[in-house]
Amino acid sequence: MSILTPDGSHICLDGPASLPIVVPHLLGFHPVRSLVVVGLVGEQSTVRVTCRVDMPDESLSHWHWESLVRALDRGECSDAIVVAYPAAGTSLTQMPAVPIVESIVGELAASGIRVGDAIAISGLRYRSYFCVNDGCCPEDGREPTARQVLELKAALVWQGSAPRASRDDIAAALVPRGADDPLRCALTERRGGIEMRLPSGVLTRATGLVDALGGAAEMSMSARVRLMVYAGFVCSDVLTRDLFLFQLTRIPRSETLAHARDILSEVVRCYDGHERAAAAACLAVCAWVCGDGAAARVAADVALEVDPSYRLAVLVSVALDDGQPPSLWTDLMGHLSVEQLMGPSRVSVDI
C-alpha cells in the first residue's frame, strides 16, 4: 500500500500496521464510532479514495452503502480496506460491529471491489476481522512498533498533514469570535473604510483577491483584516464570488488555497448572516478541492445553518453525499470561461 503525495512521490505503508497511524491523516481528524473505507488502485495499491460515515445503528436489519460504493467506483478502485472505529477507549477483545462490517464487505464484493482486509482500530491497536490466527492477531489486537509510528508520522507531517483530534475540532475552528475579540473589533472598526478603497469592477476584484491570497504569508493584523474584508465583500455577491472561485480553483495551487481557507475561516468567524453563509460556502468549495471532505462538510453545514437555501452550499453537500470527487468541481471550472460567467446569459457555478 502507498499514499501519493502532492509532489508526486509515494509514501509506502506497512500493511494493516500503518492504518492506525495513517487513517486520521487521510480523513483530517481522528475518527471514533466510524466506518471508514479506503479505496486502492494500481499495482502499488495506492490510496485513491477515503470515505467515512458514522457507525450505523446495529439494531437495524439493513444498511445502505450505495454512496460508498459509488465513491469507490468513481475513483476506479479495484481494491478496498474496511476499517471500523468503536467508541474511544474500547477494547478489541469483542470485535465491534461485526454484522455491519460483514454487510459492507459483502456489498463491496458484490460490486466487484476486492476487500483485502477489514480491521477494527482503537487508539493505535488494530485487529483483523478476517484473521483467526491468535499468534498473528491477539484477542486484544496489536500495535505498530514505535519505529513504524515515528517514521510514518514524520513522513506525513513533512507533507504538511496535521489531523485534528476529532471532527468536533474542525467545527470548533469555525465558531464565531466573541464581540470583544481583538480581530473582530478591528474588522468592525475598519470594514467600511476598507470597502471604500477596494478595486472597482467585478473581474478586477475577483482576480485581485486571488492575487492577494497568492502572496499572503505571515502578515500583520492590519493586513489580515484588510484581506478578510476583501474576501467577505467578494464572496457576498454571486457574480464576484463565481469569478473568484473560477480564478482560484480552475488551476488549483496548494499554497493559495491554503491561504484562502485560512482567511475565509476568519470571515466565517467574524461575519454574520448572508456574508457568513457565503464565506462558509466558498470555504467548503476550497476544502473540497483540496480533498478535505471533512472540512468541506463542516463548512457547508455552517452555510446551510445560516441559510438552508444557499445554493452553493447545497451543491457541495449533495456532491459529498453522493461521493463525488474534487475533480467534479475542477472539471466544471475547466469547461467554463470568464465570458460565460460574465455574459448576459451567464452560467452560475451553483447550478
Question: Tens of pLDDT along the chain (351 residues)?
Answer: 888 776 677 888 888 899 999 999 999 999 999 999 999 998 888 999 999 999 999 888 789 899 899 989 988 999 999 999 999 889 999 999 999 999 999 999 999 999 999 999 999 999 999 987 767 778 888 999 999 999 999 988 887 788 899 999 999 999 999 999 999 999 999 999 999 999 989 999 999 999 999 886 678 899 999 999 999 999 999 999 999 999 999 998 989 999 999 999 999 999 999 999 999 999 999 999 998 999 999 999 999 999 999 999 999 999 988 878 888 999 999 988 888 888 766 666 665
- Nearest Cα residue to 39 out of 115, 92, 95: 115
The confidence score (pLDDT) of residue 283 equals: 98
The separation between CA 294 and the C-alpha centre of its own chain, rounded to angstroms, equals 4
Q: Tell me the sheet residues that pair with 2.
A: 12, 46
- In the chain, the percentage of residues whose pLDDT exceeds 70 is 96
User: 283-321 in b/e burial notation, b at 16+ Cβ within 10 A?
Assistant: bbbbbbbbbbbbbbbbbbbbbbebbeebebbbbbbebbe
The CATH code of domain 2-163 reads 3.40.140.10
**CA 253 to CA 258: how far, in whole Å?**
9
Question: Which of these, 104, 103, 82, 86, lies nearest to 95 by C-alpha position?
Answer: 86
